[in-house]
Structure formats: C-alpha cells, structure tokens
Amino acid sequence: MWIGTYDKGLNQWNRTTNKFTHYQHNPNDPNSISDNRITDIHEDKSGDLWVATYFGGLNKFDRKTEKFYSYRYDPSDPNSISEDIVISIAEDPSGILWVGTPDNGLHKFDKDKGIFTYIKYKLDHPGDFSSTYAANLFVDRIGLLWVSARLDGIFSYDYWKNKFVHYENDPKNANSLGSNSVNLIYQDKFGNYWFGLLDGGLDKFDKENSKFKHYTVKDGLPGNYIYSILEDSQGNLWISTNNGLSKLNPQHNTFRNFDTEDGLPGNALWSGSKTKAGEFVYGCSSGFIFFHPDSIKENISTPPVYITGFSLFNKPVPIGYDSLSGRTILTKSIIECDELKLNYDDKVFSFELAALDFYSPENNRYAYIMEGFDKDWTYTDLTQSSVTYTNLDPGEYFFRVKVSDNYGNWNESGASIKIIILPPWWQTAWAYLFYILFIVSAVYIIWKAQLRRIRTRQEYEMSKFEAQKLHEVDELKSRFFTNISHEFRTPLTLILGPAKQIFEKVKDEKIKSEISMIHRNARKLLGLVNQLLDISKLESGNMKLQTSPQNIVSLLEALLLSFTSYAERKRITLKFNSVEDEIIVYLDKDKIEKIVTNILSNAFKFTADGGSVETNVSRNENYIDISISDTGIGIPKEKMSKIFDRFYQLDGSHTREQEGTGIGLALTKELVELHKGKIDVQSEEGKGATFIVKIPLGKEHLKPEEISEVDQEQEYEKEEERRNYYEETENKSEQRIDIEFLGKEELQLLLIVDDNSDVRNYIKENLNNEYRVLEAVDGEDGWNKSIEQIPDLIVSDVMMPKIDGFKLCEKLKTDERTSHIPVILLTAKAAKEDKLTGYETGADEYLMKPFEPDELRARIKNLIEQRKRLHQHFQKEGFFELNQTKITPVDKKFLQQAYSIISQNISNESFSVEVFAENLSVSKSLLHKKIVTLTGESPVEFIRRIRLNRAAKLIENKFGNLSEIALEVGFNNPSYFAECFKKQFGIPPSQYHKNNRAS
C-alpha cells in the first residue's frame, strides 16, 4: 500500500510485516523523488507508479530499480510540463495520462514519447477547457474524462470527440451544480456520478437530464466539506467529511453517520482508498485508519415511540380536575388516551414525545403530522422532543408521530391520538337558530328604518348644501373684502394728491394745519387698507413667505430709529438691548417689519408721556426671542386671551381713550405664525405689558419655495433707485418740465386708460399743460385708441373691466404696431408679486396708488428722455449696437426687417416711403410714427442714413468713382449725394477716404 504525506515524502506499507519503506527527496541523488509533498498517486495499466508532487512536477517510480524519474518544467522544451505543481493524475482507456495543475490547467502526457500537450486555457470558448485550475481528474467506466476546476465547476471531456462540456452553478437554477468549488468526482457501480463539494455537500448527477440533486447537512450529512467517496460491495457510498464519516444508502437516501464516539481517531478524514480486498483506508491528522465496511453491523430493530405528556398554554395538564382550566381534560394518562377533547379557546397545546432507543440515540429522528392541518410530515431530531400547535380551528384532527433508529429505519406504526376541538357557543345549532331569528328581525327593523334613513339623508344633503352656500358666501365676502380694499386706493389717490398740492400752495398756517390733518388721516386710512389686504391674503392662503438670511439686530435697530422722533415728542424713553451684534435669521423682511411696527405702535399708544419702551433681542436654543416691553396701562387678565382676535378693542366704551381697529395685533399674530413662530403677552393692569415673539432659527422648518438666499429687496434695487430719482425731482422747485426736446411743432400725445373718470381728470389736469392727453374708459377702449392714435406714452390702470392693465400691456408689447410705446401701469395692487407680473408683461414703469403727481410727471419725463437717448445712440452707432434691454424684441425685429428691405433696394432710386410701408405691410402713417419713435428720424431720413452709411463703406473699399458709388446707393444726382454725405459725416465724400486713411 502506497501512502503520500504532506511533507514527508512517499511511504510503502507492507501489511504482512507491518513495516514502512520511506522515499524522500535527496538533493544529492538525482534518482530520488523530486519533492516531499505528495498530492496524488496513480498506478497505470502497465503497473508503473506515477506520483504527483507539489513543487517537483510528475514522478515515475521504477519498482525494479527503485528509482524515480521526474518530469519537470523546462522553458527551453515546448514538450515539457508547463509548471512543477501537479495536483492530480488520471489515465484514459488509450493509456494517455492526464495531469492537472493549479495555474496552467490540464495536460495530456504520452508516456511512450515523454511528450506533454498543454490544453490551453480559452475563456468562454465552447468545447474548450476554460479554467486554469485542474483540481481532480477522474476517468469513468465509458472512458469519459471528468475534471473538477475547483472554482469553475466541472468539465466532462470526450477525447474521441475532442470536446469539453462545462457544468457550473447557476443561482437561478435549483437543478444546476450546487457549488463551483468541486473537490472530487466519483462514479458508482450503477453508473451514477457523485461530486464532492467544498462547503457545498454532495451532488448526484443525472446525466440523461443534466440535473443535479443536492445533499447537505440538512439532509443528514455530518459535514458539508467532502474529502473522499468510496463504495462498498452493497452499493452504499462511504463519504468522508470535515465532521465525520457517513454511510449513504442511495436507494433510500438515508445516512448513517460515524464520528469519534464510534471509534474514529478524528472527525476529519481526508483522502480515502479502497484495497483489492474491499477494505477502506483513510488518512487523518493522527495517521490513517482502515476497516472493512462489511464489518460494521447495524441495529436492525426500530425503537417504539410514545406520547408521554400533554401541556396547555405551556402548563402540564394533570390527570383529573385541572384547576388552571377549571375542568377535567385527561381522565387517564396521555399514553393510554385515544381521544382528546379541547375547547375552541385552547389555542396553544403541546405533546411530549419519547423514543425508547438507548444505542446512539442522538442519531434518531422524529417525524410528526397533524392530519387535517399539516400537509406533510415534519422531521426533526431527538433534541426537540416537544411538538406545539397554535390556533387550530374547531374540528377533528389526528396527531401521528413516528421515529427512526440510528441507521435511518423508521417505525411506521408509531403513535397517534385523535384531537377534537369543540366549537364556541356561537357556532352551535342553537346559535344558528338565533341567527336566523335575528336576521328576520333585522330585515324588519331595516325596512322600518328606511323612511327615517331617507329623511336623515335629505337633512344631510340640506346641511351640506347650506355649508356649501356658506362657503360660497365666505369666498364672496373675502373677494368683496379684497376688491373694496383695492377700490379704497383710488379715492385715496384723489385725496392724498390734491391735499399735498394744496398744502404746498397755501400760505395760511391754519389752513395748512387742516390740510395736513386731512393728509395724515388719509395715509392712516391707507395703512388700514393695507392691513385689511394682508388679512384677506392670509385667509385665502395667497400670502407666501419669501425669507432670506437677515441680521435681526441691525434690522430692529433701524426700525426703532423710525420711532425716535415720536418718542421724543411724548418724552418716552426708547431702549434697545442685544448681547450679540449679529444674529442671522431666515425671515421675510417686510412681514417682520409689520410685526415689530404694530407691537411698537401699540406700546407707544398705551404708554403715557414720560414712560419707557424697551426692546430686547436674545438667542434662546433654537429660537430668537424679541421682547417689547412698555410701562403703559397694561391689559386686564380677563381680556388677555382676546387681544389677538380680529376687531377686538381693549377699551370697549364709546369714548375710548385710544383709537384703533383691532386689526394690528390679529395681523401680527398671523404673520408670526406664518414664520412658524409664536407670540405671547405678559401683562399686569397698570404696570405695562411685554410682547414676546419667538422666530425659529435655521431654515429646516421652511419649505424650499419659501427660501431665497438673496435678499428679496435686491430684486427691486433698480426700482428703488428710480424712486429716489423721482423723490429728488419732487423736492426741486416747481419749474415746468423742460419740453424743448419734444419738438417745436407739437406736444407729446399721452393716453390715459382708467375706468374711474375722477382719476382720469386728476391725471389730465396735472399733465394737460405739458402734453396732449387722450382718455380711454377701459382696457378695450384703450387698445382701440392705441391702434388708432398711436400715442407716445400710455398710463394705464390695472383693475379694469373687459381687458385689465396686465393684458393690455401684454397686447401692446407684442403687437408690431404698438410695441414701441412706453407703458406705465398705475394700480392699487401693491404686492411684490403684482409688481413682478407687471414687469413680466413688458411694463416700463409700475406706479402704486395713491401716487404723487410729481412722481408721475418725473417718470413720464424719464421715459421720454430714455427714448431721446435711444435716438442719439442710433444716430451715432447704428441700430445694430442698440442694447437689447432698451427696446422690445418686437421692435428689434421690426428694425431688422426695415434694414433688410432698405438693403435689398439700396440701388433703387425709385424706392419711396410708400413702397417701404407696403413691403413692411403697415400704413404710411404708422410707419412714420414708429420710425420716428424708434430712431428720432422720419422714414425718408432713415432710408437716407442707411444709404449714406453704405456709401461710406464703399468709399473705404474703393468701390469706384463717386458717381458710381452714388448710383450704387440710389442717388442719381452726384451733387445732391455729395451734399447729403457732407451733412451726415461733416466732410465731402472726396475727402472721406483720405481722412479715414489718415486716422
């Protein structure tokens, strides 16, 4: 018997003398074995012994001379083996040796010629060996070569067809190879193929269907690492694993396992071999062990099994009266019972099982089934001797149990017991009779209640209708509230404007005082209107937050400064305290100003002369606290809960000392809550009050659309610059607007579009001396007159019947006939989003009601001056240099089209204004108005300027003599051409090229 070791070379054991002959590598002896690490041993048909070594290549042992001849890798010899690590050897029916290596795959070896043929690795090439690791070689009875690739599955090689078939694991296919890590291959005497896997158990291969059946620890194997497979004379397979030896009966698929308790020297048995006498030899860490499989006798008697105990809700049930359940369940021992009755609420019960087998009981297994509930038998080992069932429905069941011996033979008779679960009282016959009577009664009651149900439904529909009507009334009221608030702005315009003008004109101090009172109260009314609009927006959900990071400290300081003069008049001490100079908070600046202004106004209102008002700012965990305290009259405790109610007045008498509307604090509270903040008040009557506003820090509480990292005020920076300009203009002397640039023959034509005749008259009276004024009563009338008259500028209200100001502005700016006309929108809609809407429709200016006449005049003048600068820019640079923001896209397109038409007719001396207007598809008068408005020149001058510019280019390019150039640009009279050229460029055409070259 030949035995290979891991690092001690080759051993021959003589069983007769029980002596070993050792063969080890000797560096000084070229005929010794080439390496001491033996990986495989094979005896060929001629009796020669072939030994595979780990680093010494392939060795042939000559029994007569007891010399070894090694075959090793030689780089200079293409017929040598490709590496010195050989791990497996097999011989096919033709006598060819097959040699496996870990890095260079598979080799064929012709023993007679000593030639190795390397089966080259070809990735994903059908029919070739596509792995570098030939771990185990096996030739079956029909001559097929099987190769385990360790990490790439299995290859079957038919050397007659010179073709490999690859088998590998497919996670989606349960019938594929169990694992790609295949350690060994075996064919039993029935022709079945068995594959030992590394950590994958045992696989049986059905070659006809190309399907694999898997056996693992769950099926009875002691371990999933398979080291060797041997077959005894009875057809049983003996499988050595990492956790013991197992005997598999392939016919019954039963396992009988052996370990150290059965006499094995260790549980891990590695290589195995079968002698000619049928004995099995296994190597292990303690040496090796051999035995004859027929000498292992089995216990052929199957043990009996009994049901030895019964538990209810995990409590053992005694024989006789059971105090826990209050009844008798077992009248005798459970072993003797054939039937067991339980109530429907006995939801959890258990059986204790016992198998009377004392020979290796750990190898016994139970199988049990509850017929009527379980669909199949449940298998378990003896460590689980208790079986529990829960929530079985009322009915009859049979519980059966059987047991196997330690060799896998089952006692099919087993033990059984009938289980009857009684139904609850509501599932008995009396209960069903009651149900029938109840259903009949219910039908009668339902029929009887039908009229009442119909009546109730009608009442519900009526209440729903009333609720809908109330909601409509609510919406109507809110809409009316908003519209009437907007309408207040128009008469306020007619009060504030004339009041200011009268105040500036009169000299009598008493009259000026009365006019000042009118103006002051009108502005107060405007503030109340604004608050009403804010309340309306909050109710409708149209008020949105637009927060940006702000320094709350500097913001509050600026607000308090606006109250300084008022505090000085009333001799009230105004204080501001903050520990930090900068606290950044995400807030809506406009709304915070309203909050603080309202609270401060109330504080000053209810604080007597000589008192004090103090504002404190501090950071408190995740909030910023703003507290405003005063030394005023205070708030009674019974009224503190109502001060934030709308229209509630602290002083309810008809002669209250402090006037107010009860809107401010209500609006303040809703604006604070819009910031996700809180407002609270602390007060004691006669000792003043303290309002505390808490605003969350950070921005996590805000929605993305409520956050703007840039201050919203910056978006209106240009508007504020214009406003400052108008205010400066307003403070100047009341000189009339200089209108010299308007032309000496006629004044500019303005169109006033407003549905309020008083507003139209008011504007007309203030502008009539400087402009020609045309009126339109609504948006539709304004559009028609704009088309007919083509005014120089339009002032339009926004809220009008038929066509509102936004739509009118959009139509004007997108129509080629009117796109050049500047538009000022005049409106009571003061929200920032309304301003943005106006600018988006193309409005040149946006003026809010109430407005000052001087501001309106200044804005009109500014727009006309812009148009004048546009004309100067055009005459100097040409219209291609115009800034796109100066004119509308429609006007830009119009000028480009006009230039194109003139360029096409540049040489046509008969090209007239009439032909020009016809090509542009406009009337002659509209063409004249539009060209003059956009360029400051008449169409004739416009055509001449373009022709002369072309002539200048031709002169620069030396196109020809002056007569030729004149004809080229449409002048048939050279002298007239020279006169026009000199007028435009300041020099005659004859000197233009010289001056141009000199410059």
Q: How much is the pLDDT for 719?
A: 44
Q: How much is the pLDDT for 647?
A: 57
Tell me the pLDDT band of 4, cut-offs 50, 70 and 90. Answer: confident
What pTM did the predictor assign? 0.37
pLDDT value at 728 more than 50: no
Tell me the pLDDT band of 740, cut-offs 50, 70 and 90. Answer: very low
Of 128-132, 151-155, 244-248, 326-330, the least confident? 128-132
The predicted model gives 916-925 an average pLDDT of 79
Q: How much is the pLDDT for 885?
A: 46
Cα gap 429→281, rounded to integer Å: 73
The predicted model gives 437-462 an average pLDDT of 90
Q: Cα Rg for the chain, rounded, in angstroms?
A: 54
Residue 221: count of CB within 10 angstroms of its CB: 21
* DSSP track, 435-486: HHHHHHHHHHHHHHHHHHHHHHHHHHHHHHHHHHHHHHHHHHHHHHHHHHHH
- Quote the percentage of the chain above a pLDDT of 90: 16
Q: Where is pLDDT greater, at 992 or 397?
A: 397
Interhelix angle 974-985/939-956, rounded to 10 degrees, is 90
Tell me the pLDDT band of 742, cut-offs 50, 70 and 90. Answer: very low
Cα gap 738→809, rounded to integer Å: 28
Q: How much is the pLDDT for 190?
A: 86
The secondary structure of the chain in percent helix, strand, coil, rounded to multiples of 5, reads 35, 25, 40
pLDDT value at 784 more than 70: yes
Beta bridge partners of 273: 281
pLDDT value at 999 more than 60: no
Tell me the pLDDT band of 532, cut-offs 50, 70 and 90. Answer: low
Over the chain, what is the mean pLDDT?
A: 80
Tell me the pLDDT band of 124, cut-offs 50, 70 and 90. Answer: low
Cα gap 213→175, rounded to integer Å: 7
Q: Would you state the structure tokens that stand for residue 243, as one six-digit string?
A: 């956790």
DSSP 3-state assignment of 696?
strand
The predicted model gives 826-839 an average pLDDT of 65
Cα gap 954→970, rounded to integer Å: 13
pLDDT, tens digit (0-9, with 9 covering 90-100), for 184-216: 888 888 888 898 888 889 999 888 888 999 999
Q: How much is the pLDDT for 652?
A: 45
Q: Would you state the structure tokens that stand for residue 934, as one six-digit string?
A: 């956009």
Contact between residue 44 and residue 62 where contact means Cβ atoms under 8 Å apart: no
Q: How much is the pLDDT for 66?
A: 86
pLDDT value at 743 more than 70: no
The predicted model gives 449-468 an average pLDDT of 88
The predicted model gives 595-615 an average pLDDT of 87
Count Cβ neighbours within 10 Å for each residue of 105-137 and write b for 16 or more, e otherwise. Answer: bbbbbebeeeebebbebeeeeeebbbbbbbbbb
Contact between residue 926 and residue 790 where contact means Cβ atoms under 8 Å apart: yes
pLDDT value at 130 more than 80: no
Q: Is the peptide bond before 30 cis (omega within 30 degrees of 0)?
A: no
The predicted model gives 710-731 an average pLDDT of 44
Hey, what's the torsion of the CAs at 79, 83, 87, 88, to 10 degrees? -10
Q: For the purposes of burial, counting CB atoms within 10 Å of the CB of 182, is it exposed (0-12), middle (13-18) or buried (19 or more)? A: buried
Tell me the pLDDT band of 486, cut-offs 50, 70 and 90. Answer: low
Tell me the pLDDT band of 441, cut-offs 50, 70 and 90. Answer: very high
pLDDT, tens digit (0-9, with 9 covering 90-100), for 239-287: 999 888 999 988 888 888 888 877 788 888 877 888 888 888 888 877 7
Q: How much is the pLDDT for 992?
A: 75
The predicted model gives 627-655 an average pLDDT of 72
Q: How much is the pLDDT for 834?
A: 62
Q: How much is the pLDDT for 721?
A: 46
pLDDT, tens digit (0-9, with 9 covering 90-100), for 500-513: 778 777 877 778 77
Beta bridge partners of 628: 615, 691
Q: How much is the pLDDT for 392?
A: 92
Q: Which residues contact 277 (CB under 8 A, 6 or more apart)?
A: 292
